[in-house]
Structure 1
Amino acid sequence: MVANSAVSIAVINRMTIQTLRKIFMTEPHYDAIIIGSGAGGSACAFNLIQGGKRVLMLEKGDFLPKDGSTLAVDQVFGSSRFKNKQPWLDSQNKELTPGEFYNVGGKTKWYGAALLRFSPHEFNADPDYDCLGWPINYAELEPFYQQAEQLLAVKPFAHEKQLTGLIARIVKPSSGWRAEHLPLGLKTEILDHPDEAKHFDGFASPGGFKADAEFNLLTPLLENPAFQLLTGKEVTSLIAKAERPTYIQGVLCADGSRYQADHIILAAGAMTSPRILQNYLQQSGLAKILPSAPCVGANFKLHLNSALLAFSPFKQHDMLRKTALFFNEKFPHSTVQCLGWMDGELLATQLPGFVPRFIANILGQRAYGFFVTTEDSSSPDNRIIVGSEASLPPKLDYLPRRTPASAAEHKAVLSAFKARLMSAGFLSFSKAMDLTATAHALGSLATGSDSAKSVVDARGKVHGMDNIHVSDGSILPRSSRVNPGLTIYAWGLRLGRHL
């Protein structure tokens, strides 16, 4: 993904823009420029290339190392070597550092391999829960769900012995709970590589055992002369055609390089794409003209998530673990999924420093992890905001209390699942994910039919603009109750087909 550094964005004066326009006359020309190499951007590029287009992808980060360091607990979770270091502000103007990743493949390198479709009803508005609706229905996205599943080789895995027994105790008749196999983007060969199998959830696979945007989509494209991927390219500005501010003819990068194309596709993620667009609308004056401008950055979502650790008197030996997903119709906006391998080394990174390592080892050997997810409803006050001055960091203004129905259901589902674990012989403890946990950042450029209430139309183009499109999680008007990755891939494939 490509991020705007707050200090790198400044108003470009008229002389600079005119100079850039002249330079563009001698620059290579592409059919499309895609800003960001995550799920949506890579998927869009894949179908654009299939359609014979010439595509340039600009990525702020670089390729991840293949030396095994992305499987090292101390580097991934201890020192957070690979995470974003750029500071932001929260709603109280206190500094925080979101857990973003700037590398080829974006967050798809680090996700937990869960690739689920949204349910058909989750494309509809839910006024009682303050959920926005999509401008398309499930049927329109279904062919691209299917294509994404094929490209990513999505499949279920058999539950291991101890998890099978635990599931049976959780989903007893009259419990209200049911379990399904979790669709995973993993190669079956991962089971022959214990170090990879124990470190796919939250880690990047150097061996390519986990499906991601780089291995499954970009690597094949790199062999095509019509596709070019440039790393170390932080896009700082959009450059409009002379006397036509609604037509973007190119982009300017932090290193001074510039590129032009017929279509500009924002795919830098829900925390970066809105800032790129906000800056341009403010600089061009369109922020005062376009009906959709106030919606840019609004309705930000990231799910209400809690990590739950359940401890048994007995050692847990399952290796893959993350193969089950739990539902309860009492909590229609929530799910619980298993997490991957847990041991003392991993647990120690989440415990206070004074806890002895042997205690962490004892607990880690007996722990099973779960991730409790609740759809957060829409609030226009939950939003991404560009720093009001060049010297100020961007702001993530998000408060769960603005979506009270979501907060209430999350509290209830967490309590109910803990009770089921207790009845199964597991004592559990939970921790709510804070604003630094932005793995599921969504919704800040929501798609919709009404240009006064959304930013992107049903075909992915920004309302009121001629040739800017969005192909990342920021378009999702609803976060749903499951991981958004597959839906972002599907949207990108659909946009690439339309363009």
Structure 2
Amino acid sequence: MNNEHYDVIIIGTGAGGGTLANALAPSGKKILVLERGTFLPKEKANWDSTEIYAKDRYRTSEIWYDKNGKPVRPFTHYYVGGNTKFYGSALYRLRERDFEKVIHKGGISPEWPLKYPDFAPYYDRAEKLYEVHGKRGLDPTDPPSSEDYPFPAISHEPYMERIHYALKDRGLHPAYQPLGIKLNEVNRLFSACLRCDTCDGFACLVDAKADADVNGVRPAITYPNVTLMTEAKVLRLHTSRSGREVTGVETEITGKRQIFSGDIVVVACGAINSAVLLLKSANDKHPNGLANSSNLVGRNYMMHKLAFIVALTVRPKSIVYSKTLSVNDFYWGDKDFDYPMGNVQSLGTITTDRAAANGPSFVPKVIYKTIADRAIGWLLMTEDLPDPNNRVYVKGEKIYLEYTNNNEEAYKRLIKRWIRVLRSIEPRNDIGSLSLYLTTANMSLKDVGHQCGTCRFGEDPKTSVLDLNCRTHDVDNLYVVDGGFFPSSAAVNPTLTIIANALRVGEHLLERLK
């Protein structure tokens, strides 16, 4: 047993935990941050497509299982900063209607117990903390804001600019993606970002990505009251005899077990691993898992319905950073479809090395270069609807993901609609394509980058795991601060909402700690 007692223990350093540590650090309270991984090493491999994609250099070797017992190696990373070390830095606010009950073709997206105005001031703070670049007023689905983005939008390169104007000519409303990258286009001498082609899906060698490590944890640990322990895997939580408070955080550090205690314990391991930790912490007072009287811990797992479309152009194009364009004209439907469809955004640059790393090794590299020189990637995102049968659970030490696809018609319509849009702009401004569109649809269980929903928040302990402050209904000093609190997934990247919620909960905790 570790003799030191802390005011707050935070488990995990991703978008939720890293941001919360940053918010609480100036309070002077004694804070322990536990991270199962290390700091990501700075090395040339950070920007090496072969190391990242072909050799999975930084991806966990951990194995999970699907409902049939088939092994799944999740596409997740255990480092300070969590998966934000490798994210594309797209930091969207949920749309205002996303907080309401929404009828989809495939089911119902439930109403949130708090609404957009409750999150709006924390979105403002989140965008400042993560240095978001963007421009308001272009996207008709943009929620209201009292402030502009902290930094100007990342500009389109000439080829993407031509696509932008071609889309406008078709009556659409292309907008800039809200991006957390530290690029100063006015004065490159003061720019951390180099505007390179290894950003989306890569760790940043020069710390120019606004991630939970660089923008959250590192500033936090400059305070003497904040202690970060790396390579510290939390195994289970212990409670008092009444079961009403967490009294011990059992942790494995360099092969030895230690138990830490704190007035407040915050679980921020990501939606999947937070649910796993609660389930593995079952005891006599919580036989189905800690804080699981609702039987909802691990249930309603959502991960978004994602499709990748690659369009090949006739002539080679010159582009370095293509992840700047967003289209939400079909977010709430189309003229012949009265149900939400989703979001469209351009992807990071498809380079020769990246294409080769993701393709068969026997294909000559010149073929991959020919493809990369002509390829533009698009990410399409449709809402994944909550289903209690889509869940995370444990058997012994094994982690299982049980998942069945939903909302298929809206998803397929978005894919077909976007391909029609791309074909309609082919003749414009030398955008012309070969009408060849390669689509990777229905991401597999290993793709857990947008995980959410496993510990939903709400006012009723029978229908939610957490209260409105993300404290568990069943345990007085236990909070969950990651994507697990989402009642629905919406159809934009979840990271900014996780960050905003961490700032919101941080404000509540500061009041409680007084």
TM-score by length of structure 1 reads 0.89
Tell me the distance in 1 between the aligned counterparts of 2:25 and 2:291. 32
Partners of 1:289 and 1:466 in 2: CA distance: 12
Deviation by residue 1:320-378 (Cα, 9 ceiling, x = unmatched): 11111112232534011001111221111222333222111101111011111111111
Give the 3 Å change call, closer, same or farther, for CA 282–121 of structure 1 in structure 2: farther
- Does 2:175 correspond to 1:165? no
1:265 touches 1:468 (CA, 8 Å); kept in 2?
yes
In the superposition, relative to structure 1, how do residues 44 and 333 fare at CA in structure 2: closer, same or farther (>3 Å)?
A: farther
For residues 270-315 of structure 1, give each alpha carbon's deviation from its aligned partner in whole angstroms, at most 9, with x where no partner exists.
1100011112235643439967441000000000001111100111
- Does 1:234 pair with 2:212? no
Residue of structure 1 equivalent to 2:38: 62
* Residue matched to 1:436: 446
Partner SS state of residue 376, structure 1: coil
For 1:66-85, list aligned pairs within 5 A: 66-85=42-61
Superposed, which structure 2 residues align to 1:4-153 within 5 Å? Answer: 23=1, 27-128=3-104, 129-153=107-131
Task: Indicate the residue corresponding to 1:489 in structure 2.
Answer: 499
Q: CA deviation at 1:428?
A: 1.4
Contact 1:333 1:480 in 2 (8 A): no
Q: 2:345 aligns to what SS in structure 1?
A: strand
Q: Which residue of 2 aligns with 1:470?
A: 480
Q: How far apart, in 2, do the equivalents of 1:72 and 1:110 lie?
A: 13
Distance in 2, Cα, partners of 1:200 & 1:289: 38
Question: Are residues 193 and 491 of structure 1, via their aligned partners in 2, closer, same or farther at CA, if it must alter by over 3 Å?
Answer: closer
Alignment of 1:40-439 (within 5 A): 40-128=16-104, 129-155=107-133, 156-174=153-171, 177-189=172-184, 197-241=196-240, 243-254=241-252, 255-281=256-282, 284-287=285-288, 292-329=293-330, 330=333, 332-387=340-395, 389-390=396-397, 393-400=398-405, 403=406, 406-423=407-424, 424=426, 425-426=432-433, 427-432=436-441, 433-439=443-449
Q: CA deviation at 1:53?
A: 2.0
Q: Does 1:453 align with 2:453?
A: no
Q: Which moved more, 1:481-490 or 1:353-362?
A: 353-362
Shift of 1:127: 4.7
Letter in 2 for 1:431: T
Amino acid at match of 1:250: G
- Three-state SS of the structure 1 residue aligned to 2:215 is helix
Contact kept? 2:342, 2:382, Cα under 8 Å: yes
* Separation of aligned partners in 2, 1:113 and 1:297: 26
Structure 1 range deviating more: 117-126 or 227-236: 117-126
Give distance in 2, aligned partners of 1:135 and 1:193: 40
Alpha-carbon distance between aligned partners in 2 of 1:447 and 1:285, rounded to the nearest angstrom: 19
Indicate if the aligned counterparts of 1:114 and 1:182 stay in contact, CA closer than 8 A: yes
> How much has 1:70 moved relative to structure 2?
1.2
- Distance change (3 Å), C-alpha of 1:143 and 1:288: closer
**What code does the residue aligned with 2:404 have?**
L
Aligned to 1:6: none
| Number of residue pairs aligned between Structure 1 and Structure 2 | 465
Change (3 A) 1:462 1:368: same
Counterpart residue type for residue 94 of structure 2: F
Q: Which letter maps to 2:30?
A: R
The equivalent residue for 2:429 is: none
Question: What per-residue deviation string (whole Å, max 9, x for no partner) do you get for residues 151-175 of structure 1?
Answer: 111112111110111222234335x
Please give the alpha-carbon distance, in whole angstroms, between the structure 1 residues aligned to 2:193 and 2:484.
Answer: 35
**TM-score under structure 2 length normalisation:** 0.87
Quick one: distance in 1 between partners of 2:47 and 2:289? 48
CA contact (8 A) 2:301 2:390 kept: yes
Per-residue CA deviations over 1:149-204 (Å, capped at 9, x if unaligned) read 11111112111110111222234335xx3211111111124877897621110001
Segments of structure 1 that go 5 or more residues without pairing to the other structure are 1-22
Change (3 A) 1:451 1:313: same
Counterpart amino acid of 1:183? P
Residues 290, 302 of structure 1: alpha-carbon distance in 2 compared, 3 angstrom cutoff: closer
Partner AA of 1:94 in structure 2: K
Shift of 1:449: 1.8
* Matched AA of 1:484: P
Q: State the SS of the aligned residue for 1:348.
A: helix
Please say if residues 312 and 376 of structure 2, whose CA atoms lie closer than 8 Å, have aligned partners that are also in contact: yes
Unaligned runs of 5+ in 2: 134-152, 335-339, 427-431, 510-514
Q: Secondary structure at the match of 1:260?
A: strand
C-alpha distance in 1 between matches for 2:164 and 2:284 = 55
SS of residue paired to 1:264: strand
Code of the residue aligned with 2:81 in structure 1: it is G
> Which residue identity lines up with residue 168 of structure 1 in the other structure?
Y
Q: Distance in 2 between matches of 1:198 and 1:288?
A: 44
Q: Secondary structure at the match of 1:295?
A: coil
* Structure 2 counterpart SS, 1:178: coil
Bigger helix fraction: 1
Which shifted more, 192-201 or 247-256? 192-201
Cα 1:290–1:467 shift into 2, 3 Å: closer
Whether the 8 Å CA contact 1:456–1:462 is kept in 2: the answer is yes
Cα pair distance change 1:283/1:77, threshold 3 Å? farther
The residue matched to 1:113 in structure 2 has which SS? coil
Which amino acid is the alignment partner of residue 248 of structure 1?
Answer: V
